[in-house]
Amino acid sequence: MLKKTIILFFITGMVHAEFSGEYKSITPSRMHEFGRTNIYTGMANSQRVSGVWEQGKGICDPFSDANIKIYAGAGQCCLSVKEIGGRYVFSKILFSGDKAGKLYDICSHSVMKRRQ
């Protein structure tokens, strides 16, 4: 049990460090940049938005699939992000706020590559 707990803490600690970075959609119309200090910048169809982000289990309860939450402009966005075959799949779980705002277009389903 102790080994499992230590491994869980080790993996959980790495997730935040591993996730920060810039992600671009395969067709370059969307971009997410998750800064190490939780500063967020996103872009969709030449519209740019800035805000903050956080990650972790339960951040969008009761929607347990979400592991990233973005606060930007007049909206909040909960995403599920997972790596499959060297690509990152961003799935929109929940959006709240102004649907006419810039974040609404950015908060959508997409497949992205992580920029090196």
pLDDT at position 36, please? 92
Question: What pTM value is reported for the model?
Answer: 0.77
pLDDT per residue rounded down to tens, the chain (116 residues):
434 333 333 333 334 446 788 888 876 688 999 999 999 999 988 889 999 999 988 999 999 999 999 999 899 999 999 999 999 999 999 999 988 888 888 899 999 998 86
Domain spans in the chain, listed from the N-terminal domain onward: 2-114
Listed in sequence order, the residues at least 6 apart from 110 whose beta carbon sits closer than 8 Å to its beta carbon are 25, 30, 89, 90
pLDDT at position 35, please? 94
Q: What is the CATH number of domain 2-114?
A: 2.40.128
In degrees rounded to 5, what are phi and psi of residue 29?
-115, -15
* DSSP conformational letter for 73: T
Please state, in angstroms and rounded to a whole number, the distance separating the CA atoms of residues 101 and 85: 32
